[in-house]
Structure 1
Amino acid sequence: MSEIVTRRVALGAALTAAGGLLVACSEDRRDVTPTQSTGLADKLQPPFFIAHRGGAARYPEHSMEAYDADAKAGFPIEQDVQLLKDGTPVIIHDSTADRTMTGHGKVKDLTLAQWEKMRIKPIKPGGKPVKPLQLKEVLDKFGGKHLLVPEIKSKDAKNALIESIVKRDLQRDVIVQSFYYEAAVAAAAKDIPTLWLSSDAPSDDKFKAAKSDGITYWGYDESLPPDAVKRAVHAGLKPVAWTVNTVGDARRQFKAGAVGVFTNNPWKLSKAHYG
């Protein structure tokens, strides 16, 4: 059990033990409200650099090698979550295995046995192919220890991802992202910090609705105009740009109002910013 989860269990036991006192005082202290739990996502300070696909400029996409390097450097780690044919949540960006894996076919048509036999291709010639990942492997290893930023990549992955997070009591230790607005709202309803992605600039009313629906972050294509970023901030959302791979582009996004960026090379951008 992680240190964060252990503290939560201890806190829960303390509150239970004190329950009689809280009830006894309820008539005189009707303004008392429960303390909201906090986690890694609540401690995230801008500007931050999310390791896009694990940091694809240096490591094979969504590989354990990449995630280990991200964790060592302290970067939030992105995962793209999809389901195999039997409903197993796995980590892969594309809808097919062809580009990044040694096998072929649509992810949703692959069996778990086929997935386990495939390997992630190396990014450099002569490199060693590595084992692909299931969501449970990532949550079990990094959950509660390092901030994870999983994306609901396919609509059918919504319930599996949210349930996996809730089951492990990791709601405040992740930021769930999705282009599917309904999926983002569903995650927010479970007290999960949520990042809603959009390729186009939403209207002011849509920004306000997102804030009202509990969404925390707005993820946007870095090519969108600064005005859209300012309107998101005005609505109370925290903008995060994607995919930002140069120091100059990162500085422009932060100047426009972004609190963070997705980048294939967080090591380079972070060093340029923080030294």
Structure 2
Amino acid sequence: MNNFCVAHRGFSGKAPENTRAAFKLAMSVPYVKWLEIDVQLTRDGVPVVIHDFSVDRTTTGKGKVKDLTWREIRTMDAGIWKGSQFEGEQVPSLDEVLQMVKGRLKVNIELKTSGDMYPGLEEKVLERVRAHQMLSEVVITSFEPKALLRAKELEPEVKVGLIIDAHPRDLLSRLKKLGCSFLSIGYSHLDASFASELLKNGITPMAWTVDDRRSMAALARMNPEIMICTNRPDMWGQLFSNGFAPRIPFWDKWKGWFR
């Protein structure tokens, strides 16, 4: 298997999603080369790594992320829901995650927003990416086209990608208008022909979220350039034992970025 493995919210099949524990576990797997994370802003403007718009599901706290301060969120346990062995895990800041993975994993940063929910989110995220000198190691993605346009306006060199769980006929033209070099798409909407068309136009597809070996293998056979996002990198490992070979790139091969 030549396709890149992307750990969805870290190794979230075994550890609490979007926590240091999930990221550490992902980094311990040699064939994981990408990390996918979700970023929102606290009430006091700190970029934090959490998926839901509220903290209710994945922490011991209550309330919407945008209504809580960084200090308030930091007191919440973000691991106990997954198991007692993860008790004490916290919601990490974007700063902490970038510092943790720099030079080890590429990062797909999803701007988790809806409409104008988070004014300044793009600027705050790019500030932290620049501070860690990781502009060449990240791609900014979002369901919100306006967020991608804003990110490109603020930093023309940043790579951006649309997230979509559909395949409208005009998708390729929409991606070009947004300046995308990346597409994050629900895996059931991707086929070999469309993957090839995307790649010919300089757009790398990432299929999400793929947690069974059969689907992983089917995507891999479509095209070796399809990135596969999964909660279960261990399933990926089981494919290796069945005769697939992992892609282990060297960093100097990334001058052309995805290909």
Partner of 2:210: 244
What CA RMSD, in Å, does the superposition of the two structures yield over aligned residues?
2.4
Does the Cα contact within 8 Å between 2:15 and 2:82 map onto a contact in 1?
Answer: no
**Residues 106-150 of structure 1, C-alpha deviations (whole Å, 9 max, x = no match):** 111111221111011335443332122011111223223422221
Shift of 1:212: 5.7
Instruction: Call closer, same or farther: CA 1:109–1:215 in 2, change over 3 Å.
Output: same
Aligned partners of 2:125, 2:134: CA distance in 1, in Å? 11
The residue that corresponds to 1:274 in the other structure is 245
- Which residue of 65, 72, 85 corresponds with 1:114? 72
Question: Normalised by the size of structure 1, how large is the TM-score?
Answer: 0.75
For 1:63, the equivalent position in structure 2 comes to: 19
TM-score by length of 2: 0.79
Q: Which runs of 5+ in 2 are unaligned?
A: 247-259
User: Structure 1 145/269 Cα, relative in aligned 2: closer, same or farther at 3 Å?
Assistant: closer
1:160: which partner in 2? 124
CA distance in 2, matches of 1:91, 1:118: 13
Larger radius of gyration: 1
Of the structure 1 ranges 95-104 and 188-197, higher mean CA displacement relative to structure 2 is found in: 188-197
Q: Which has the higher contact order (CA 8 A, sep 6+)?
A: 2
Kept in 2: contact 1:207–1:237 (CA 8 A): no
Distance 2:17 2:181 in 1: 26
Q: Percent identity?
A: 27
1:102 equivalent to 2:60? Answer yes
**Amino acid of the structure 2 residue aligned with 1:79:** I
Give the residue type in structure 2 aligned to 1:259. I
Equivalents in 2 of 1:195, 1:252: separation in Å? 23
Which of 91, 94, 98 is the aligned partner of 1:135?
A: 94
- CA apart distance, 1:234: 4.6
Q: Which amino acid aligns with 1:251?
A: A
Q: Distance in 2 between matches of 1:153 and 1:124?
A: 22
Structure 1 segments (4+ residues) deviating >4 Å: none
Q: In structure 2, how many angstroms separate the alpha carbons of the residues matched to 1:224 and 1:141?
A: 33
Q: Is contact 2:58-2:81 (8 Å) kept?
A: no
Name whichever of 151-160 and 230-239 sits farther off: 230-239
Partner of 1:208: 173
Matched residues in 2 for 1:219 and 1:212: separation? 16
Q: State the aligned residue count.
A: 230
8 Å Cα contact 1:100-1:121 kept in structure 2: yes
- Given that 2:141 and 2:162 are in contact with CA atoms closer than 8 Å, whether structure 1 keeps it comes out as yes
Q: Distance in 2 between matches of 1:191 and 1:224?
A: 29
Q: What letter corresponds to residue 142 of structure 1 in structure 2?
A: V
User: Which stretch has the larger CA shift, 49-58 or 114-123?
Assistant: 114-123
Q: Is structure 2 residue 45 aligned with structure 1 residue 87?
A: yes
Corresponding residue to 2:139 among 158, 162, 175? 175
Amino acid at match of 2:184: G
Conservation of the 8 A alpha-carbon contact between 2:206 and 2:229: yes
Deviations 1:211-268 (A, max 9, x none): 3643211111112152544443454321110000011111222233361111001132
Unaligned runs of 5+ in 1: 1-44
Amino acid in structure 2 at the alignment position of 1:274: A
